[in-house]
Structure 1
Amino acid sequence: MTKRILLCDDELPILRAVEFKLKKVGFSVMVAQNGEAAWAVIRESLPDLIVSDYQMPILDGLGLAKRVRENPTTQHIPFILLTGKGFELDQEELRARLGITRVLSKPFSPRELVEQATEILQGAQYNSESAAKPCGETG
C-alpha cells in the first residue's frame, strides 16, 4: 500500500518542489497551505506522515502538532517540522512536549526530506501504542 504524506507549507515553491520529489519516489502526497487546512485533511484522510512548516498563517506548525497529539485518532502519526528557526527551537522539548518526530531546518534539500520520510515510514513501525512513547521505551 502506498504511504500517504500530508505536506503543509505556505510557501508554494517549497510545497511544489517537495511534493514533486515525494511523488517521484512513490509516496501519495496531499498538500495544504496552512495548519487549519491541514487539520481538515488529517481528519478526513489520516495520513501516514505529516510534514509541516513551523511558521504559517491561520494555524502554525506547533498548533497543528498539538491538535494532532491531543486527538486519539491522530496522535500516532509521525510529524516532521520544517523551520527557518531551527537553532532557536529546543528540539528535545518539541519531541517531549508535542511528539515531533524530526525537525528539519530551512533551507533543506527536498532529497533530505525524502530520505527522512522514507526512514520514518519504513523503519519506525508506528502504531497507536508505540508512537506515544520515546524511542526504545516499551510498555
Structure 2
Amino acid sequence: MELYCDGTTKWILNVTAKELIIVPNDPSATDIVENPLGFLTSLNKGYEYPSRVTSISTNGKQLWIIDLTPVNKRLAYKSISVGVEKNSYIPRMIKYIAKDGSSYIINITGFERVNTLRPKDYFKFPSFRLTGLQVNDMR
C-alpha cells in the first residue's frame, strides 16, 4: 500500500489490487491509517502505554517497541506498536492490530531527513502512474 497526502486530498494506492482511492483529507482524524501526523500528535492524550518499553533486534538494528492501547475503545483497532531505532530514534516499524484480530505490519525501510521544504506537488499521487489502475474518486 502507498499513501500520498497534500493536506487537502489523500490518495491510497493498493498496489496488489491495482486500485487507487481518492478521498478528502481530514486533518482532525487521529487514526494512524487515516492521518499518521494526527496520530503522532495525539499520543500524549489518546493512548495508554506501559512505563517501560521492550527491546528487540531486527535486521541488525536494536529497536525500542512501544505498545499503545487507545483510550477510546470504539476505534477500529485494539493496539498499535511502534518500533524506533535506539540510537537514532528513526521509526522502523508500525504494527496495527484491528479489532477483528487481523494485524498489519509496516516496515519502514528508508527514512530521509531533508532540510528544505518540498513543493506541495511532491505529496500528490503522480498522474503518470494512473495507467492500469481502477480509480475510485470519493471526494
TM-score (norm 2): 0.29
Higher helix content, 1 or 2 = 1
Higher strand content, 1 or 2 = 2
| Higher Rg | 2
